[in-house]
């Protein structure tokens, strides 16, 4: 008895799975708000009059963010390590060997709060399977500078040069008038771009460039303008929790039409002829990425549709083109889906002499996805009945 019940349950499960497999519809991606963390390292360029290489220094950044919507998010980032400064002193009577160039470095920690905007979702609509997402970020915070001892050493050397050379050119633009020691806290503004390359739903690799501006007193020199430093960073982003869910939208059930049956009295009843209903035919013609060329393996499916239409003169066919949402944008995918449907229509008409009034033509671009698997949506679906 127990074996009989188990067999019955298994049979019912198979029937249920089969019914679900035959159900047709589209899959929609639904954004889920989520947290993430970023870990990055790279280099910094502190703006100044020295050589480019003399003003490069290491930098690192850690961030924690939350994406509220598919476009807007907020990130708390802590950038830190090292900045550099250079000052040059020249005298008209000095030889090159007598000229002076002072270099120094100091450390900093700069926490900031930044708004992030997903530009890819703004331009190309939301797609969690997109390979590259581009973000803009803007915000600000507090720069905490410390260990500025080397700047004091440079100032002492400048004073010695001044005492020994009365013709030393040392004007206000190159003055160490804003020399500071200890720990200094200054507000700063920040803006940049971040390029996020998807590896999986959880992990992505990113490249970030940002510009930071703060008061003229940051690098100890009086220049009469705001000080700047620029960061180039690369690292990893880890999403915490689900970033999206999928929703299956089944196709609507076909409309049932009722026809009133009229019975007429007849004198003679002819022999009953059984008329079998014509079953509809569906063929899915698949294409490779960014292509609308019919492959040899798929051409046979178009012939099947033509044979069906020739065998059933009253039948018609609906031809619908699609593109996958994982690549391209709506403009590209609308064109590609139309071309995929068009090539099937022309093959039916030109190669198999199917009349145009028996063919219905449509294209959905990537706005409708008939299959859950992304790559299968590079398709033209033909339904003849």
pLDDT in tens, 99-117: 678 899 999 999 999 999 9
With contact defined as beta carbons under 8 Å apart, do 104 and 87 qualify?
no
DSSP string for 4-51? HHHHHHHHHHHHHHHHHHH--EEEEEEE--EEEEEEEEEEEEE-SSS-
- For β-strands 244-250 and 100-118, DSSP reports them as unpaired
pLDDT of residue 113: 98
Average pLDDT over residues 143-149: 96
More confident residue, 11 or 192: 192
CA 118 to chain centre: 8
pLDDT of residue 258: 45
pLDDT of residue 317: 94
Average pLDDT over residues 12-24: 49
pTM score above 0.75: no
The β-bridge partners of 210 are 192, 231
DSSP string for 307-355? HHHHH-TT--EEEEE---TTSS-HHHHHHHHHHHHHHHHHHHHHHH---
Under the banding of pLDDT at 50, 70 and 90, the label for residue 165 is low
Q: Is 160 helix (H, G, I), strand (E, B) or coil?
A: helix
What lies within 8 Å, CB to CB, of 78 at 6+ separation is 61, 62, 63, 109, 110, 111, 112
Q: How far apart are CA 2 and CA 5, in angstroms?
A: 5
The yes-or-no verdict on residue 49 having pLDDT over 90 is no
The yes-or-no verdict on residue 154 having pLDDT over 80 is yes
Going across the sheet that includes 359-363, the strands are 281-286, 379-384, 317-321, 359-363
Q: Which helix (H) or strand (E) holds 150?
A: helix 149-164
The yes-or-no verdict on residue 21 having pLDDT over 50 is no
Helix axes 296-311, 330-352, angle to 10 degrees: 60
pLDDT of residue 168: 55
Under the banding of pLDDT at 50, 70 and 90, the label for residue 7 is low
Q: Is 218 helix (H, G, I), strand (E, B) or coil?
A: coil
Q: Which residues of 330-353 are buried (b: 16+ CB within 10 A; e: fewer)?
A: eeebbebbbbbbbbbbebbeeeee
- CA neighbor of 381 nearest in space, from 301, 315, 313, 314: 301
How many residues does this entry show for the chain?
385
Q: How far apart are CA 178 and CA 259, in angstroms?
A: 94
pLDDT of residue 250: 76
């Amino acid at each position: 008895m127990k074996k009989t019940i188990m067999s019955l349950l298994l049979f019912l499960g198979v029937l249920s799975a089969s019914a679900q497999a035959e159900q047709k519809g589209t899959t929609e991606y639904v954004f889920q708000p989520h947290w993430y963390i970023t870990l990055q390292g790279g280099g910094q360029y502190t703006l100044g009059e020295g050589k480019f290489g003399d003003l490069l220094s290491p930098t690192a950044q850690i961030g924690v963010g939350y994406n509220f919507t598919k476009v807007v998010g907020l990130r708390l980032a802590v950038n830190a390590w090292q900045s550099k400064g250079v000052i040059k002193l020249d005298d008209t009577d000095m030889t090159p060997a007598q000229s002076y160039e002072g270099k120094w470095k100091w450390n900093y920690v700069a926490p900031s709060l930044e708004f992030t905007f997903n530009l890819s979702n703004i331009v190309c609509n939301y797609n969690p399977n997109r390979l590259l997402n581009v973000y803009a970020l803007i915000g600000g915070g507090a720069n905490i500078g410390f260990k500025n001892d080397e700047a004091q050493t440079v100032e002492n050397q400048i004073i010695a040069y001044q005492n020994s050379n009365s013709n030393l050119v040392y004007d206000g633009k190159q003055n160490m008038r804003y020399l500071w020691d200890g720990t200094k806290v200054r507000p700063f503004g920040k803006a940049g771009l971040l390029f996020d390359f998807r590896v999986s739903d959880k992990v992505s690799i990113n490249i970030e460039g940002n510009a930071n501006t703060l008061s003229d007193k940051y690098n100890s020199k009086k220049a009469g303008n705001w000080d700047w430093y620029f960061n180039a960073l690369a690292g990893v982003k880890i999403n915490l929790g689900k970033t999206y869910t999928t929703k299956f939208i089944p196709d609507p059930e076909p409309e049932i039409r009722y026809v009133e049956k009229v019975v007429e009295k007849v004198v003679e009843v002819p022999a009953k002829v059984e008329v079998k209903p014509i079953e509809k035919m569906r063929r899915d013609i698949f294409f490779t990425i960014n292509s609308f060329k019919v492959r040899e393996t798929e051409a046979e499916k178009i012939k099947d549709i033509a044979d069906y239409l020739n065998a059933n003169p009253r039948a018609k066919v609906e031809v619908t083109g699609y593109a996958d949402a994982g690549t391209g944008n709506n403009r590209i995918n609308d064109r590609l889906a139309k071309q995929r449907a068009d090539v099937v229509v022309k093959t039916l008409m030109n190669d198999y002499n199917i009349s145009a009034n028996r063919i219905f033509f449509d294209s959905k671009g990537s706005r409708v996805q008939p299959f859950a698997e992304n790559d299968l949506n590079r398709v033209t679906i033909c339904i003849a009945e």
